Structure 1
Amino acid sequence: MPLKSTQSAYGAVAVTIHWLSVLFIIALAGSGFLAAGMEDTAAKAAVLRAHVPCGIVILLLTAARAGWWLLADRKPDPVPMPDWQDRVSRGVHFLFYVVIFGMGASGIAMMVLSGAGLIIFGGTGETLPDFRDFGPRIPHGVGARLFIALFVFHAGAALHHHFVKRDGLLRRMWR
């Protein structure tokens, strides 16, 4: 598989970033929803010690993806589909970027404003603050739910193209 994309398939760099992102996003969502429901602050801090670095990795992967597309590679030619589906697809991909960068910004703001970053990674022995007391918690929670909806819609559309339409769309993002 070439590093860069061809007219009919994504290259190794794009494929690797995509599937690494999927794995980290699943870990991120799972740890985030788990932490949100926890009362035990020590256990919550332990979960957040995984959640926060996963969020940073996703931000870096997303920035790398944007840079890759802007500076180094071209996406394959689109698979023929009705105009409305193409517009929805582009909209979902754009919203992924908006939500990921928004989630990153709200997560960082929450860690800074609450002082939780020092508690989680500095081992100060203090208990975690109640994140509901900090403004960035609301967009972070809304963003998480919106992201899950986009993720399910995106995966469902890919599976529909693969199993129902059989148009080769999913194979383009696989080795």
Structure 2
Amino acid sequence: MKSTPTKYGSVAVTIHWVSAILILVLLGSGFRATSLTDSAAKEAILMIHAPLGATILLLTLLRLFWWWRVDQKPEPSGDDPAWQTFLAKAVHVLFYIVILGMGASGIGLFVLSGAGDIVFGAGPGPLPNFADYPPRIPHGLGARLMVALFVLHAGAALYHQFIKKDGLIWRMWFGSTDTGTEK
């Protein structure tokens, strides 16, 4: 369950991959909802988007608690240049900041606009224009930043897997293989 100095544990791996899938679904549904003009279609998407957003917020808080109180992250691979190690840490910290900010701004949008009542059936009416509410700006900027971070993160993983061929990607996968390569 816990990480070793060279590999992430099953709890961290599960949170990572569930989070990655949910973030992709959230980005797709969020960008789709933004492009719609039909209130009913947008409402249907938000009925999925909002609970998944709350789920990723809770998973992120769980992950932070896990690292703070229960587990330790594996050591850096050690053979990367200092700038790559710094960039990797920066991307991970930014992921946490953006996810927490997206959660806060999403909750703010629902509370301030009254959309929560509409989306979850407590009140009738068309959805409000979210652009009229201040949390919409950081929520939209956060989504775009999340795409950039996702591309950087996935690109780095692919670089390690296919260019460096160091098996680093196996640190964040299930099973007992430490690096995915034979020594």
Distance 1:66 1:168 in 2: 26
Deviations 1:41-94 (A, max 9, x none): 011000000000010010011001000000000111211211111110100000
TM-score, normalization by structure 2? 0.93
Matched, 1:21 2:19: yes
**What stretches of structure 1 move > 6 A for 4+ residues in a row?**
none
Unaligned runs of 5+ in 2: 175-183
Deviations 1:2-52 (A, max 9, x none): x00011111000000000001111111111000000000011000000000
Which residue identity is paired with 1:19?
A: W
Q: Which residue of 1 aligns with 2:75?
A: 77
Identity across aligned pairs (percent)?
58
Q: Which residue of 1 aligns with 2:90?
A: 91
Equivalent position SS for 2:134: coil
Q: Which residue of 2 aligns with 1:119?
A: 118
How many correspondences in the alignment?
A: 173
Distance 1:102 1:63 in 2: 12
TM-score, normalization by structure 1? 0.97
Which residue identity is paired with 2:169?
A: L
Q: Which residue of 1 aligns with 2:144?
A: 145
Unaligned runs of 5+ in 1: none
Distance 2:112 2:6 in 1: 46
**What is the Cα-based RMSD across aligned positions, in Å?**
0.7
Equivalent position SS for 2:75: coil
Which residue identity is paired with 1:42?
A: A
Distance 2:123 2:114 in 1: 11
What is the CA-CA distance between 1:169 and the residue it aligns to? 1.2
